[in-house]
Structure 1
Amino acid sequence: MSPHSVPLKTWLKARRAVNALHLELMALNYDLDGALASGQYGLAWWTQQNMLTTAVELSLSEAGTEVPPSADPLDRAFTSLDLLRRAGPERAATAWELLLRTQPQDSEVREESARTLAFIEHGLGLPRALTRQGAVREWAESTALLRAVAKHVGVARSDTWYLSRETGPDTDWYSDVLAVLADERLK
């Protein structure tokens, strides 16, 4: 969805929702890595399921299908899966199959989570959502676009309109994010 295809207010609202989903996937990515690394397989299982429902919603939103807001995560998941069924019944069937699996034995959680991540990458077309670096970059690019348009129309009153601290003269928030990504590559 481009800013030229819908009214600007509608576009900004939709991009803000997409940006929030990128942020959610980024956080879940870190949660999954941490849970698997520490042997918290129940948390890892819960996280990969949440990654799936968030990725379904993100995939729909990026394709221009609005998922009605809901404070109830289960309601959001059901609504997203129903909208996915309308857009692609076979993808929805795969998503439901992945969600309805019972939690496997601890020794199988990593392998079964990989099935979910493969579907997010190939079935939903979100390959960058699967690595911490990719997820951070997706969020940063989404934020940069949203911020640029918001600033252009006067919504963003300064370069630091959403930051809790001022940035230095030689850096800005996007540079900070890219620096974090560079540090991640070295680990």
Structure 2
Amino acid sequence: MKHLSIFLILVFTAFSQSTFACSFGGADLFKPTLERWEEHPGPAQKGEKGDYWEKVPAPVVKVSSITRGSAKPGSSCDDAGVILLEVSLPKESTYSIEEFAVYFRVKEGLLPDAIFPDVPLVGEYKDGKMTLLLAWMDGHPSRQIPLDLKVEAFFITNSLNIGESTTFNIVASKG
């Protein structure tokens, strides 16, 4: 047992603490259930002008913060770039944010790394909003490119209904 303890201490000291310290949460892959999605009645069912069923709305996306990497690769989290997004429903929607995942598509701009994966994402839900934390290997400022992206976002339901898109910008200079 004593030899095992000494071995473990040596292994942990051989690796820097920063190797184990970097972990990002805040955006998970969407796993659709494929169950039928319950649409809400639209204005036509209330005798008003409009659709019979309320459509999947376009998301409202707010870029809360952008942090650029500040160290060379391999320096724990200091070499990562982080974008924090806040996604919500339009005020007129009767749906709940928990009913949706978000798919992102970069329409314009040079993407330095896989900031936006090719799959829908879900984030943390709180107070009627979804927060998504997206991290990528940004590296040292000397190797970064400025971010100037035009991104399209869509809501997706469990039964894979897709709503209209919203376009938003990600703009940040080098770190």
> Shared topology, TM-score over 0.5?
no
Decide which structure has greater strand share.
2
TM-score by length of 1: 0.24
Decide which structure has greater helix share.
1
- Structure having the higher Rg: 2
